[in-house]
Structure 1
Amino acid sequence: MGALYIDADACPVKAEAERVASRHRIRMYVVSNGGLRPSANPLVETVIVPEGPDVADMWIADRCKAGDVVVTADIPLAAKCVAAGARVIRHNGEAFTEANIGQQLAMRDLMADLRAANPLGTAGGGKDFTKSDRSRFLNALEREIRAAARSQQGS
């Protein structure tokens, strides 16, 4: 099995991901530009990258490969990771795949254009992260880690 990469800035499921990584005994990288308390778990490495736009994303994209799992809500990062062969999920368990990443990027760009065109700036915030989102994430992470391990065994 490869590694588990967490795009940790504003990630609500770091603790859950750590429990799953520990159960499967896989290396987990928690990547951010600071402000995180390091884990005492020897399988978890906290990676603090320099300040700057997308530095944490670039760190993950440069390292992930087939057999790895990435957790992120960042669609451009997800696209790079999918292209590298990694399995990628959002914090709510939704998967980014070769089949849907193009549409996800297009929707992201459309929404950015709509927000930019809104002269009042009254676009609402994101929806709340719920218990069912957390449960979906745990199920999806378990599924993706097992699938990544199977793909490594078949290589």
Structure 2
Amino acid sequence: MTSIYIDADACPVKNEIYRVAERYGLKVYVVSNSYLGVPRDPRIELVVVSDSFDAADNWIAERAAAGDIVVTADIPLADRCLKAGASVIGNTGVPFTTASIGMAMANRELMSNLRAMGEITGGPKPMSPRDRSRFLSALDETIQKLRRQR
């Protein structure tokens, strides 16, 4: 059975995930370093981990497997989950794949170095309606693909 794991601390599409998971009857694990409000639904489970570095990432990576979906913007977590066989979707609806993760890791390293040198400041741009639409489409497509594989 497919489960969805959300790297929830900074995830802007949690409500969209809840709606899609309800439609398909999927289990959702909302993994966070702090308590978050989640819908009262037996299929949605809030998992609060310690506030130690990468605790949420480690919890997800240890459980995500083939047939599961992970939603995260964290590229190293995406890499770990892909290696475990899970499907991974970024918060803006761009899927991470085994073909794209190497470039994403290299780009992350480059941006980290540029920030360290003071060349780049600021974070990611805000979510747009187009990003939300792309996310919903990617999530639905991934669920359909996993269902066909079973």
- C-alpha distance in 2 between matches for 1:71 and 1:133: 14
TM-score by length of 2: 0.96
Cα distance, 1:117 vs. partner? 1.4
2:42 pairs with 1:50: no
Other-structure match for 2:25? 25
Q: Which blocks of at least 5 consecutive residues in structure 2 are unaligned? A: none
Distance in 1, matches of 2:70 and 2:23, equals 17
CA deviation after TM superposition for structure 1 residue 116, in Å: 0.7
What is residue 5 of structure 1 aligned with on the other side? 5
Q: Following TM superposition, by how much is the alpha carbon of 1:124 offset from its aligned partner in structure 2, in angstroms?
A: 3.1
| Partners of 2:60 and 2:120 in 1: CA distance | 33
Instruction: Please state whether the residue corresponding to 2:132 is helix, strand or coil.
Output: helix
User: Identity over the aligned pairs, expressed in percent?
Assistant: 51
The residue number in structure 1 matching 2:139 is 141
What's the offset of the Cα at 1:38? 3.1
**1:130 partner letter:** S
- Taking the TM superposition and a 5 Å limit, the aligned residue runs for 1:74-93 are 74-93=74-93
SS at match of 2:106: helix
- CA shift, 1:42, in A, is 1.2
Distance 1:72 1:113, change over 3 A: same
Alpha-carbon shift at residue 2 of structure 1 (Å): 1.6
CA–CA separation in structure 2 for the residues paired with 1:95 and 1:146: 14
Query: Residues 79-121 of structure 1, C-alpha deviation per residue, up to 9 Å, x if partnerless?
Result: 0001111000011100000000011001100110111112xx6
C-alpha displacement of 1:123: 1.7
Distance in structure 2 (CA, Å) of the matches to 1:49 and 1:39 = 19
Q: How does 1:102-141 map to 2 (within 5 A)?
A: 102-118=102-118, 123-141=121-139
Paired with 2:128 and 2:53, the residues of 1 have a C-alpha distance of 28
Stretches of 4+ moved more than 2 A in 1? none
CA distance in 2, matches of 1:58, 1:149: 26
Q: Look up the SS of the partner of 1:22 in the other structure.
A: helix
Q: Would you say the 8 A contact 1:3–1:29 is kept in 2?
A: yes
| Equivalences, count | 150
Q: Are the equivalent residues in 1 in contact too, given 2:114–2:120 (CA < 8 A)? A: no
Look up the equivalent residue of 1:76 and give its one-letter code: P
Shift of 1:37: 1.2
CA contact (8 A) 2:13 2:132 kept: yes
Aligned to 1:45, the other structure's residue is in SS state: strand
TM-score (ref. length: structure 1): 0.93
What amino acid does structure 2 have at the position aligned with 1:73? A
